[in-house]
Amino acid sequence: GIDMKEVTYEKLTSEETRKALGDITFVTATDGNHGRGVAWTANQLRQHSVVYMPEGSAEERLMNIRAEGAEASITDLNYDDAVRLANRNAEEKGWVMVQDTAWEGYEDIPRWIMQGYGTMGLEAYEQLPEKPTHIFLQAGVGSLAGAITGLFSSLYGDEKPIIGIVEPDQADCLFRTAKADDGKLHPVTGHMRTIMAGLACGEPCSIGWQVLSDYADYRRLLHGCYLPLTWHPCLHNPSARFLFRLF
């Protein structure tokens, strides 16, 4: 093998590497940005990519992904079922699954993606004029939220900012998991109606939740529109000191 420190962009995208790897198809399920990144990377490597988008995805995002050379389509599935479709085709056709949500037996690639999210967080941290008092993070499956929560918890230790996790109330898998506090992940199934299609994820990322359960402070559930805010103390889970919700 080659030391990753020696793998430059030029070497990675070279014809030598392309011939050594052979033909690869990368597959993923996404609402937009992740799929666009996978498609762009496959294009740079002169490989193929397939992107399955969940119901409710924007046509503009579909066009942007296709513009990067991907075979992309909007399915009639929710996000989690689109992930299962991608994984099934990866297993049956020998494709490479590139997903930022993890489950038992599939954790390496999601962990690498979370490390990439951490790089984004570090770039933001390096530009901060002073320590923030609060950080609010989108939930989704919890990978990005877990990565940024882990980064700032590591940087600031016991003096870390208050970290809030935001998710739609129709896709409140992290809220349910935190509230249950039984050591299990609690998914949401069916059609998750929300204007925030990119956050309509019903099954928590296992490795993301491991971080959030220890270091996140709040869970916030957003209704389909902006309405008065109320607070709900969570008596069962000390890691989620308060859960707050819009009604």
DSSP 190: S
The phi, psi pair for 83, rounded to 5°, reads: -65, -45
CA torsion 28-123-149-146 (nearest 10°) is 10
Q: Which residues have C-beta within 8 Å of that of residue 105, sequence separation ≥ 6?
A: none
**Which pTM value belongs to this model?**
0.84
Split the chain (247 residues) into runs of 10 and give each run's mean pLDDT.
Answer: 81 91 96 92 96 92 96 94 97 97 95 95 94 90 95 95 88 90 92 76 94 83 42 36 33
Give the CA count within 13 Å in the CB-facing half-sphere of 162.
10
**pLDDT for residue 193:** 78
Cα distances from 64 to residues 82, 175, 210, 229, in angstroms, run: 19, 32, 33, 36
